[in-house]
Structure 1
């Protein structure tokens, strides 16, 4: 099958989510200027750089308003927190994705306890084994290019603090991915966690 995106009109746009998979989930907590809290998952999320530590997440504009509540809050305050979603937290994550009216506290909706952050105002998900406090670096607005496209926002944030559950930090300082079982997004409503784990050292050229 070949699809020419300049001319094709009948392909499912969700196919990209199945091709670029699995994807980590950014469980983003934010706070509005008036103190109301929001929590939402984003599967277009990833680490961009480690020095400085920068993460990104993006989303399309919703049908009922010009942008998602998370973006509105980040624009207003310049802060957010990413919380690692584990396999055990999959139901709570899914419940927090409910399209609730602006100002709804998704922590309460999903039955999640809050934990305070140190350098930003938004709270953390207390049950998450790893949270990153972030300051806004920039927001890139992607305008529609062709028919059927939607407006998108891409948020870049600098990580200014880490919260790690000591149970998952090894003596050498390595974070134990196998035991935390991070949840990943596949195509459609499919999710998964870590499968078989292998370690592959980077090959070095032979010495002359």
Structure 2
């Protein structure tokens, strides 16, 4: 089976990409509105891009009816946000925050998610997340008028204490169980892992 990208509709391209580029990490993003409402929403077109500076990127599409999502409204206004990684205990709550909540409803409040203050920005973080990265906006890239790529620069990192060996700078993988996005409303666990010996030579 072969397709030219130009022969497909955007929806068909989306279906192919989200069916095969798997699993995808999930950015669980908190922002704050001008009236202080804390918003939380997941985005699975997401990844980190490097360490110097520490950059991440995620895509925010318009809603199906053309409305701009609260996350983008808040980022455009304040230029800051927190990106969290989700693990199994928080997976269902993360999924629920992807619903179409009105701007005056705080998803963390509605779902009983604990918040904690950030160190460098005004946006609070989700206290129970295994990893959180406070970010300031590095660049916003408009794509075709129907989505925006948000590039953020990490200002501070929060790691759940038992997950990190501060001397070895290494994660305790036996305790860290992040989830990945598959397609539609499907997710995957990361418990089944494998190790390989160091590669021989450079490719």
TM-score (normalizing by structure 2)? 0.91
* Distance of 1:52 and 1:199 partners within structure 2: 30
Deviation at 1:197, TM superposition (A): 2.8
Divergent runs of 4+, >6 A: none
* Distance of 1:126 and 1:24 partners within structure 2: 19
Matched, 1:163 2:158: yes
Deviates further, 8-17 or 84-93: 8-17
Deviation at 1:12, TM superposition (A): 6.5
Deviation at 1:178, TM superposition (A): 4.1
Deviation at 1:110, TM superposition (A): 2.1
* Distance of 1:49 and 1:25 partners within structure 2: 17
Deviation per CA, 1:156-176, whole angstroms, max 9, x where unpaired?
Answer: 000000111110002412123
Matched, 1:99 2:100: yes
Q: In the superposition, relative to structure 1, how do residues 51 and 76 fare at CA in structure 2: closer, same or farther (>3 Å)?
A: same
Q: Which residue of 2 aligns with 1:138?
A: 139
Q: Which residue of 2 aligns with 1:198?
A: 195
Q: How many residues are matched?
A: 199
* Distance of 2:22 and 2:143 partners within structure 1: 22
The within-5 A match list for 1:108-147 is 108-143=109-144
Deviation at 1:19, TM superposition (A): 1.0
Contact persistence 1:134–1:158 (CA under 8 A): yes
Matched, 1:174 2:170: yes
Q: In the superposition, relative to structure 1, how do residues 135 and 8 fare at CA in structure 2: closer, same or farther (>3 Å)?
A: closer
Contact persistence 1:95–1:109 (CA under 8 A): no
| Gaps in structure 2 of 5+ consecutive residues | none
Q: Which residue of 2 aligns with 1:47?
A: 48
TM-score (normalizing by structure 1)? 0.89
